[in-house]
Structure 1
Amino acid sequence: MLILDNLRRRLIGTPLPTSAHHEERYSNAEALAILSSDALSSVAYATQEIVLVLGMGGAAALPFTLPITVLIVGLMLIVASSYRQTIKAYPLGGGSYRVSQQNLGQGAGLVAGASLSIDYVLTVAVSVAAGIAALTSYFPGLAAARVPLCLLAVLLVMLANLRGVSSSARFLSLPTYLFMGAVVTLLVAGFIKMGLGQLPPLPLAEQQRLLAAAHQGSQGLQAIGPLLLMRAFSSGCAALTGIEAISDSVAAFKPVEWRNARRVLGVMVLMLALMFSGISALASQGGLVVQDNGPTLLYQLGDRIFGDGPLLFVLQLATLLILLLAANTAYADFPRLSAFLAQDGFLPRQLCSLGDRLVFSNGIFALSGLAGLLLVIVDGSVSRLIPLYAVGVFISFTLSQAGMVVHWWKLRERGWRSRALINGIGAAITAVVAVILLISKFTQGAWVVVVAIPLLVALYLRIRTHYDDVALRLRLATDGPLPLPAAPPAGGGIPTVVLVGQLHRGSLEALCFARSNASELVAVHVDLGGGRAQALREQWSRQLPDIPLEVLESPYRSLVDPVVAFVRRFETLHRKHHEAFCMVVLPVFVTRQRWENLLHNQSTIRLRQALRERGTRVVTTVGFYL
């Protein structure tokens, strides 16, 4: 245990007190780097995916790259305008899940939550796979180790996020700004060369040869029709993923939160539109062709504009770093979304607990595990992940904007009609795009997302049913004084400590057992924050006035350390009175099904182990059967 604790401290740092939570906020510059990395990094593969699909229609289809890009940029501006409204209306964050739940009902909220959860896992997988593709484009010899490199990248990003907001912000800001500078330099140099006639397009014969090689083994070229263009458009819509991240994390900004969040959103969308449009324009003018798992489009542009020199290396390095770290947007938002769902009882309660560094550590671990598994399944291929991508996020876009329309209609404040109109237009357009994505990507893998969303919603509802059943089972029959057995006669029993999280039937049974065996009885509650301690004190004084309650402060949110320290003092005191034994009683739940143990904090196991390691001789658990 001690060795593992030391290793954890070295990797993620020493614990931070809860009082430091308000200090763990993003400045605008840090927020642009952290929360925009997903959206900004998508320019490294969004145009590439458009070209890859259009290539199925032959050289004649490639000129459609720029018109499709213009449509996507227009959609980008509409979605951003809609989310500006959401940020001000929901300054505490919550994004699509909270907006949909509060305005459209529980079902819509859970669909939005499931859609976003899937998309965040895909964000990590796509970003990491694309980053490793940038690396293997520059170092082709590493292609065989693609999957292990992807898993290593997930591990590194996970560790960076476990260190906390401030540490990860300092670590992640530089690559984002390096990438933005490298791409802007590429675009400026590219347009200058194009204006001077030094960037001629590929000859038609060369284009056709590369397209034939790229689609070797497929059933020939496809006709340039609506379905092909829809598929290209839907693949390019990957550029919009990540726009919602800022509205999900408004509470992570420094005051005034909503105003700073809107400023960062505006800068992000402006940079995203400029970089995406510029790359598409240069790729279209050059007639570039992309092969699956071959050199990336951005690498080809860099090679043509910069040549094989240091600027090309910087571009690829910056692309690698931001794509690896674009996963950080999901790491910023997935744990927060999971915490919202857990607070509402739809996911295990452990997901709302803050870790040592004031981050939702359990959510970070869950996201890393799911993304790593997905990367292994698809063999680290970006093209196999893209058909799954963006479907979920556009469903959540639609629900969020529809929820905002209802929100404005309910409030009917001054100017509500114009705000509702903006969100209504956003909802209608994103709904159309969601349908296009489903139709064009369904057979390529989007059906997986269509199946996964209702399965996730069913899981959420099953977990909520379990928690509701447990709450009903634990409810006390009365709000008045509670009956307890008589204490042992004078000289009988042993000094006893009972750990109490809440006052319910489970803890009452543990107290009854302890009272019947204790010469001296004290109940102990650890205040982990959240304002529950004061409510427990009031309930305790009303229902169990004869049993002393000790509330232990825990500024570092540890349950084990304060209890162990209290028990040590308690035992020391009673040894002075020549009492050989003290007893610690721990209430525990006994679930019907083994899997239900995952829904409850297993802190009793860790606490019992820690007490025994430190010399407590009698540790008793009292089971309450659910």
Structure 2
Amino acid sequence: HYPDGGGAYTVAKDNLGTYPSLFAAAALLLDYILTVSVSVSAGVRAITSAFPATYDYRVLMAITAVLLLTWINLRGVRESGTIFALPTYAFVGGVLLVVVIGLVRYTGVFGVPAMVPQVHNVPPQQPVTDLLFIWLVLRAFAAGCTALTGIEAISNGVQAFKPPESKNAAKTMVAMGIIAMSLFVGITFLATHLNILPSEEESVLSQMTRSVAGGGVIYYWVQFFTMMILILAANTGYQDFPRLSSFLAQDGFMPRWMTHRGDRLVYSYGIIVLALLASILILVFRADEIAMLPLYALGVMLSFTLSQSGMVRLMGKIGKLKPGETAHTGVTTIHYEKGWPWKRLLNAVGATTTAVVLGVLIVTKFSEGAWVIVLAVPVLVFFFRSINRHYDNVAESLSTRDLELADVTRPVANVLIVPVADVHRGTLYALQFAKTFSSDVRAVSIITSEEARERLIRRWNRFPEITKGLSLVCIDYEYRDILSPLVEYVEKVGTEEFPDQVVTVVIPEFVPESIGSQFLHNQTANFLRFRLRGHRNVAVIDVPYHIS
């Protein structure tokens, strides 16, 4: 129904309203950040499991992987490229091979019984009451729902598929579900059968593969491509975070520059912001994906609940149409569909289920870090609304509705003020430029010592063909802050000599050839420009002098 993408944000905006859509967007953006940090950290764990000596370098390795992914995406790598397909096939094939070997060697499913190695000593089981059992099932179900993030990534990136986008996305979702369930059931069965328990230093998959296949080629194959697939899984965040940010920016809820594409036709600013935030998370959590998972699952379930609730509303709109009738909702075009009541019921069940999971996660994971998401989502929504109000206020201020000529017409004073720190080619060029606009040009210099005054006047008098007829105003100031007296002089000229008129300040600056060298110059000009921006009756003209 929404082939242009946007996922939960678009569905909620179209059916539930502004605030639900912003909550969905906040959850999704946090999800994408966590997708990168969790996936990369998990990928690094695969390497540290195979090579324990690298464990202390996991944070450095994870941030390096983030930087590499950032560089690749800024280069504009295609989402469907071979670079993403080959590791996927290699990982799926390797894990399936391990599962098959494990079933043959250890379970006797195919008539080859074998002794089961005790990888860990399992503590004795305690009796569980019915109520506690239900709670444990709900908690396990809620934790396991983190695996559904792949569905979210597909639904939010529909427009990245080849036409017909929605059908190809649906096929991909079915294939993903079959593969994920096969691998999950096989790994879970073997891990349980082998008494494998979670470990901080070694992943469950690494323990299982080592038990089943030993420490040979198959083990390192699985570990390497586990790392590859997890790091490439982070790429979904690099695709969807900038895309969703651009949707929000188009609607006025994020800075407009998030809509800009770079030279490679990618949302460069979104990619850089994502990399920065993901790296901060990796540093804070020391590349421990287990500690980040409670944060991860909460955002997923919130976005699922809102999107499913929106689809319940959409199916209600579809049910009101007559066969053959179409309608436009504001975002998409809908038409009458047979079986819409069943689809609506299915969406309602989905919304209820994910809402229950969300509640369980908040209760069970709150003290483990989920409180961060509970706090961050409304803060982000407030941030979105603040940006939107700012853009609305700016649009209202710039509106030509009920415009009077006096609103955009102000008399301009016949005076130009040129700040002069020294007499050189740049300032002489600016003075010559100013003379073409007015006969009243005032060069203003802040003097901190008598020697500086004498040197300035001596250099000033060396170029009478330019300085003749111009006023040189020297302001004595004992402190090193040259901006305050300069701004005060501009204010004084405006209020005393030219009240209610625009005073023009010409700022000379020189432009070096090297981009890196530009950071070494013109900072005073930048600060002066910033200070003068707050004055309604001051106009600023920049006069660059290019240095070859």
- Alignment TM-score, normalising by the size of structure 2: 0.69
- Equivalent residue, structure 1, for 2:476: none
Taking the TM superposition and a 5 Å limit, the aligned residue runs for 1:286-365 are 286-291=194-199, 293-365=200-272
Give 1:150's aligned residue: 62
Deviations 1:101-139 (A, max 9, x none): 110010100000011111111111111111111100110
Q: Distance in 2 between matches of 1:409 and 1:462?
A: 33
- Kept in 2, the 8 Å contact 1:99–1:404? The answer is yes
Q: Does 2:153 align with 1:245?
A: yes
- With over 3 angstroms needed to count, the CA separation of the structure-2 counterparts of 1:147 and 1:612, relative to structure 1, is closer
The 1-side partners of 2:411 and 2:302 are apart by 60
CA RMSD in angstroms comes to: 3.3
Structure 2 stretches lacking a partner, 5+ long:
320-335, 413-433, 439-507, 515-528, 537-548
Who is 2:177 aligned against?
A: 269
Q: Aligned-pair distance for 1:90?
A: 0.3
Shift of 1:237: 2.2
Instruction: Decide whether aligned partners of structure 1 residues 464 and 197 sit closer, same or farther in structure 2, where only a CA change above 3 A counts.
Output: same
Indicate how the Cα distance of structure 1 residues 237 and 98 shifts in structure 2: closer, same or farther if over 3 A, else same.
Answer: same
1:564 counterpart residue number = none
Aligned amino acid, residue 32 of structure 2? Y
Residue 393 of structure 1: CA displacement? 0.7
Task: Tell me whether 1:179 sits opposite 2:91 in the alignment.
Answer: yes
How many angstroms apart in 1 are the aligned matches of 2:126 and 2:233?
A: 34
Task: State the distance in 2 between where 1:403 and 1:470 align.
Answer: 32
**How many angstroms apart in 1 are the aligned matches of 2:56 and 2:376?**
31
Partner of 1:446: 370
Pair 1:407-2:314 in alignment:
yes
Give me the whole-angstrom Cα distance separating, in 2, the residues matched to 1:222 and 1:468.
Answer: 61
Amino acid at match of 2:342: S
The residue that corresponds to 1:602 in the other structure is none
Aligned twin of 1:136? 48
Per-residue CA deviation, residues 234-268 of structure 1 (Å, 9 max, x unaligned), is 33222112211111111111111111111111111
**Could you say which residue in structure 2 is the equivalent of 1:422?**
346
Distance in 1 of aligned mates of 2:18 and 2:272: 27
Shift of 1:221: 8.8
Aligned equivalents of 2:79 and 2:347: distance in 1?
A: 36
Greater relative contact order (Cα < 8 A, sep 6+): 1
Report the Cα distance in structure 2 between the residues aligned to 1:176 and 1:290, rounded to whole angstroms: 24
SS of structure 1 residue aligned to 2:151: coil
The structure with the largest alpha-carbon Rg is 2
Distance 1:320 1:304, change over 3 A: same
Aligned mates of 1:133, 1:373 — CA distance in 2? 18
How far the C-alpha of 1:232 sits from its partner, in A, is: 3.3
1:172 Cα offset (Å): 2.1
Unaligned runs of at least 5 residues, structure 1 = 1-88, 213-219, 488-513, 519-607, 615-620
State the Cα distance separating 1:192 from its structure 2 match: 2.1
Which has the larger share of helix?
1
Check the 8 A contact 1:95/1:247 in 2, yes or no. Answer: yes
Q: Percent identity?
A: 41
**For 2:145 and 2:402, how far apart are their aligned partners in 1?**
57
Paired residues of 2:138 and 2:357 also in contact (CA < 8 A): no
Query: Letter of the aligned partner of 1:106 in structure 2?
Result: T
Give the direction of change, closer, same or farther, for the CA distance of 1:375–1:262 in structure 2 (3 Å limit).
same
Which of 16, 21, 29 does residue 104 from structure 1 map onto? 16
Q: Which residue, 352, 361, 379 being the options, matches 1:455?
A: 379
2: CA distance between counterparts of 1:625 and 1:242? 52
User: What is the rounded CA distance, in whole Å, between the counterparts of 2:116 and 2:294 in structure 1?
Assistant: 29
Query: Once structures 1 and 2 are overlaid, which stretch shifts more, 144-153 or 407-416?
Result: 407-416
Give 3-state SS (helix, strand or coil) of 2:150's partner.
Answer: coil
| 2:358 aligned residue | 434
Matches within 5 A, 1:91-240: 91-166=3-78, 169-193=81-105, 194=107, 195=109, 196-197=111-112, 200-203=115-118, 207-208=120-121, 225-226=132-133, 227-240=135-148
Q: Secondary structure at the match of 1:451?
A: helix
Of 191, 203, 209, the residue aligned with 1:283 is 191
In the alignment, is the contact (CA less than 8 A) between 2:253 and 2:388 conserved in 1?
A: yes
User: Aligned equivalents of 1:222 and 1:119: distance in 2?
Assistant: 37
SS across alignment from 1:254: coil
In 2 relative to 1, CA 443–200 (structure 1 residues): closer, same or farther, beyond 3 Å? farther
Distance 1:169 1:222 in 2: 52
How far residue 456 of structure 1 moved from its aligned partner, in angstroms, is 0.7
Aligned length: 411
Structure 1 residues 612, 290: closer, same or farther in 2, change over 3 A? closer
* Counterparts of 2:186 and 2:223, CA distance in 1: 17
The verdict on how the C-alpha distance between 1:391 and 1:184 changes in structure 2, with shifts beyond 3 A counting, is same
Q: Does 1:376 align with 2:283?
A: yes
Shift of 1:417: 1.7
The question of whether the paired residues in 1 share the 8 Å contact of 2:15 and 2:314 is answered with yes
Equivalent-residue separation in structure 2 for 1:396 and 1:609 (angstroms): 50
Query: What is the deviation of 1:281?
Result: 1.1
What whole-Å deviation, never above 9, does each CA across 1:171-225 have from its counterpart, x for those lacking one? 222211211111111122222223344554345xx643x669xxxxxxx999783
CA distance in 1, matches of 2:53, 2:307: 45
- Between the aligned partners of 1:355 and 1:409, the Cα distance in structure 2 is 41
Would the alpha carbon gap of residues 611 and 386 (structure 1) be closer, same or farther in structure 2, given more than 3 Å must change?
same
Rounded to whole Å, the distance in 1 between the matches of 2:283 and 2:303 is: 27
